[in-house]
Chain A
Amino acid sequence: MNAPLLIPRRPGPLWLLAEVTYRCPLHCAFCYNPVDFTQAGPELSTDAWLSVIRQARALGAAQFGISGGEPLLRDDIEILVAEARQLGFYTNLITSGVGLTEARLAALKAAGLDHIQLSFQDATREANDLITNTRTFDLKRKVAAMTKAAGYPTVINCVLHRSNIDHLDRIIEMAVEIGAEYLELANTQYHGWAFLNRAALMPTAAQLAEAEAVTERWRQRLGKTMRILFVTPDYQSKKPKKCMNGWGEVFLSVTPDGLALPCHTARMLPGLEFPDVREHQLGWIWHESPLFNRFRGTAWLPETCQSCDEKDNDHGGCRCQAFMLTGDAGATDPVCPKSPDHALIDAALAEAERPGTVKPLVFRDPKNAAKLGRAF
């Protein structure tokens, strides 16, 4: 036997994303969580999360994110942050801000939390509360002021879609008013609930062009005081993106019920076995598991991609997008103009240009999840 003992192992993950719960006080229609999130098993215990955190750090991960759902609905995230920080992780809390009281903020600060990313849904109370199907706007502004007073840089994420993208000028102005250092404007990516609501969320080409122009004007004006990141939507950019910077290359996500995933939406993919962190070591999951090797590198790519110069840059694009649109997770991402299925993208874009085709939003809540009984 010539066991390949001397072959150096690939690097470990750099990112651990802990999606600690699917529970959420908001009901955003653009959420990327699975539509059937109520089918997930019970949430991991504190001890199980601590074990995941320790194993990921030992593999070399340096960024730790806590997300959800709304992570503040768990009462143990202070414990998770403290352990991660103590091990040398840079710790990120990704939150809607709902549930962040002065007392919890002080506890998180004492635990060593490095960074809070706060999501805003729109610049006016009416629009924010409409898309989230809640009354949370005033609370978010209060939370932003509170985190700033605690010495955190203010990092705001706002998901853009058909009904808020025309308010972008006001959204950026609001970020300036509350003294944000970073503003991430993320155009909706159509996964989970967002895919279900695609027709209602997709902006027109003119809306998008105007949004980019507005962003550029503010960038000129603000310079270094506030950095604005504008994430272009896959559908309109016609450029497939390397799935999470490469499947199994930097990113490891764990679902509330303990499944390890190479990307936070991969759970929808059929025919794959998702390793449970309570049954397997993270090192095995990352290096050896069939799941993490399934779309790793470029050897598995279909013919359309194999003969393409861009394959090392995009690895054929997003696996979930390929699956949702074509039914084949191993297909070229249809957003690529070279994809044999690219007509699906053109059709979705054309639909966005037709007035009067907009459907009502389906909000992300347990009742709708149970009624729909599907993954996306």
Chain B
Amino acid sequence: MTPARPRINRLFRFQWEPAQQAHVLLYPEGMVKLNQSAGEILKRCDGSKSVAEIVADLESAFNASGLAAEVDAFLLMAEAQNWINWNAS
């Protein structure tokens, strides 16, 4: 079984906002401004990557290690906020 892959809920649009100098989630009549790590994680939630692949990608992009816990915690919160759903295998 392939692990589930997170993707952004179709009710939201994710984009870079030059005026905010931040990634944001836009939704009907509202906007969430994201901090840098949230933006970098969500940028990778395209429905094609597993959580492990997202972690590996971030660690390589930022030359860091041990990001799994932070990514897990963020995705849990993002799911509770309805920002993401999961593509099953």
Which chain A residues lie closer than 8 Å to B10 at the CB level?
A: 151, 153
- Cross-chain contact of A60 among B11, B15, B20, B28 (Cβ < 8 A): B20
Asked if A11 and B82 sit within 8 Å, CB to CB, the answer is no
Most buried by B among A11, A62, A115, A224: A62
Q: Which of B24, B28, B30 meets A153, CB within 8 Å?
A: B28
In residues 174-188 of chain A, which contact B (Cβ within 8 Å)? 181-182
List 9 other contacts, CB 8 Å, given A11-B19, A63-B31: A14-B31, A59-B19, A60-B20, A62-B19, A63-B26, A114-B26, A155-B28, A182-B28, A224-B82
Q: Which residue of B lies closest to A88 (CB)?
A: B15
A-B contact pairs, 9 of them (CB 8 A): A14-B31, A59-B19, A60-B17, A88-B15, A90-B31, A114-B13, A117-B29, A153-B28, A182-B28
Which residues of A approach B to under 8 Å, CB–CB? 11-12, 14, 59-60, 62-63, 65, 88, 90, 92, 114-115, 117, 151, 153, 155, 181-182, 224
A62 in contact with B28 (CB, 8 Å): no
For B11, B17, B18, which residue has the most chain A Cβ atoms within 10 angstroms? B11
Chain A contact residues, majority secondary structure: loop
Contacts of A88 in B (CB 8 A): 15, 17
Query: How far is it, in angstroms, between the C-alpha of A65 and the C-alpha of B18 when the chains are bound?
Result: 20
Distance to closest chain A CB from B8 (angstroms): 13
Is A90 a contact partner of B19 (Cβ separation < 8 A)?
A: no
- Point out which of A59, A90, A115, A151 has the most chain B C-beta atoms below 10 A from its C-beta: A90
B58 CB, min distance to chain A CBs, angstroms:
25
From known contacts A153-B11, A181-B11, infer whether A62 and B29 are also in contact, taking CB-CB under 8 Å: no
- Determine if B19 and A115 form an interchain contact, defined as CB atoms under 8 angstroms apart: no
Smallest beta-carbon distance B28→chain A, Å: 4
Give chain B residues whose Cβ lies under 8 Å from the Cβ of A63: 26, 29-31
- Are B82 and A62 interface neighbours, CB within 8 A? no
Complexed CA–CA distance, A56 and B88 (Å) = 40
- The reply to whether B29 and A92 form a contact with Cβ atoms under 8 Å apart is yes
- Mark contacts of B24-68 with chain A using CB atoms, 8 A cut-off: 1 yes-contact digit, 0 otherwise: 101111110000000000000000000000000000000000000
A12 touches B28 (CB 8 A): no
